[in-house]
């Protein structure tokens, strides 16, 4: 549904996007991860027909974004990271305006608006002025606005940014609902946990380059050259810390939190076993030895750190 080939964008001498090759299948959710200024918004703006690439091509539904923008706009619903609303309009008028802007027939609009407001949990707010809505409500209204023409593709740039935890959960639930409806979703977020739960595929972008792409499990497996173990002790934590710091299989040791020590072990289960044996043989009162599951946040930090270095 979405394809980019060697997509690049330069701002004067700054390369915001470098040879981005991306393929997103229809009906899947793709998560774009990257720090601020990595090139996520640039890539999304190009796909939303708002920015011309310096080099390369981008296709949405088979249409090239710079050659056939009208066709692309009919296929996409775009929600930028920061967007304003028309404060002097009522919620219903706001959605009606955008429905007209996509040439939705007048007879269809009232029913459509009712359904959309129900989907984003804003039923009963039809007659409220947009400026009276909370930030979370405005964000959900923005999402409803993206859906007025029933697009196949949603391009959502940080849809949960600036929202409180409750509003984030609500937003996540709506996105899950849209996923069930078969929409192709390209989403960027700083809340990596959300993406882990929602996305079929993720792409990690740093300094304009796509540095990793695939399912969450695949990417974790790709970068997993060491594992993290939490060692718990009844006492003698300082001595145990010094012992582990000298151990040849331990690559890194994190500052102690209470009676727990976090260590990075070079290798897998066999190496873990050897460290545990050495600790017990040395007489340390080990009360726990738990291998931590690698999460997306750590993978992200590791990959982006490598790129920066």
Least separation in angstroms between CB 145 and other proteins: 7
Task: State which of residues 20, 48, 137, 216 lies at the interface with other proteins (CB under 8 A).
Answer: 48
Q: Where are the beta strands (DSSP E) in 181-221?
A: 184-188, 201-206, 209-214
Q: What is the size of the binding site for other proteins (CB under 8 A)?
A: 32
Task: State which of residues 23, 25, 97, 132 lies at the interface with other proteins (CB under 8 A).
Answer: 97
Least separation in angstroms between CB 149 and other proteins: 7
Binding span for other proteins by CB under 8 A among 102-110, 185-193, 214-222, 224-232: 102-110
Is residue 84 involved in binding other proteins (CB under 8 A)? yes
Least separation in angstroms between CB 46 and other proteins: 9
Is residue 51 involved in binding other proteins (CB under 8 A)? yes
d(C-alpha 110, C-alpha 100), whole Å: 12
Task: State which of residues 23, 101, 252, 269 lies at the interface with other proteins (CB under 8 A).
Answer: 101
DSSP string, 10-44: EETTEEEEEEEEEEE-TT-EEEEE--TTSSHHHHH
d(C-alpha 294, C-alpha 296), whole Å: 7
H helices within 48-158, ranges in order? Answer: 69-75, 91-101, 109-119, 135-146
Binding span for other proteins by CB under 8 A among 89-97, 198-206, 263-271, 280-288: 89-97
153 pairs with which residues across the strands? Answer: 76, 184
C-alpha dihedral sign at 79, 81, 86, 87: positive
Task: State which of residues 26, 102, 123, 257 lies at the interface with other proteins (CB under 8 A).
Answer: 102
d(C-alpha 253, C-alpha 258), whole Å: 14
Is residue 89 involved in binding other proteins (CB under 8 A)? yes
Residues that bind other proteins (CB under 8 A): 48-52, 66-67, 69-70, 73-74, 76, 78, 80, 82-86, 88-89, 93, 97-98, 100-105, 145, 149
């Amino acid at each position: 549904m979405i394809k980019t080939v060697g997509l690049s964008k330069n701002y004067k001498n700054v390369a915001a996007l470098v040879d981005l090759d991306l393929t997103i299948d229809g009906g899947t959710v793709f998560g774009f991860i990257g720090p601020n200024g990595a090139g996520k918004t640039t890539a999304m703006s190009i796909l939303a027909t708002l920015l011309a690439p310096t080099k390369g091509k981008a296709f949405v539904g088979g249409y090239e974004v710079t050659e056939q923008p009208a066709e692309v706009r009919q296929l996409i619903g775009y929600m930028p990271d920061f967007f304003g609303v028309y404060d002097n309009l009522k919620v219903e008028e706001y959605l009606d305006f955008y429905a007209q802007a996509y040439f939705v027939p007048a007879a269809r609009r009232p029913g459509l608006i009712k359904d959309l407001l129900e989907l984003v949990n804003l039923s009963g707010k039809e007659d409220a002025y947009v400026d009276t809505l909370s930030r979370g409500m405005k964000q959900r209204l923005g999402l409803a606005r993206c859906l007025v023409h029933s697009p196949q593709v949603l391009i959502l740039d940080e849809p949960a940014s600036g929202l409180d935890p409750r509003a984030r959960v609500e937003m996540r639930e709506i996105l899950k609902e849209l996923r069930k409806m078969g929409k192709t979703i390209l989403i960027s977020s700083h809340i990596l946990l959300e993406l882990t739960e929602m996305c079929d595929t993720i792409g990690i972008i740093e300094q304009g380059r796509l540095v990793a792409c695939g399912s969450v499990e695949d990417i974790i497996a790709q970068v997993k050259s060491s594992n993290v173990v939490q060692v718990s002790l009844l006492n003698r934590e300082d001595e145990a810390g010094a012992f582990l710091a000298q151990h040849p299989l331990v690559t890194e040791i994190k500052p102690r939190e209470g009676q727990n020590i976090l260590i990075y072990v070079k290798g897998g289960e066999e190496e873990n076993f050897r460290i545990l044996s050495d600790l017990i043989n040395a007489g340390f009162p080990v009360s726990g030895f738990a291998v931590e599951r690698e999460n997306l946040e750590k993978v992200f930090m590791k990959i982006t750190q490598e790129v920066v270095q």
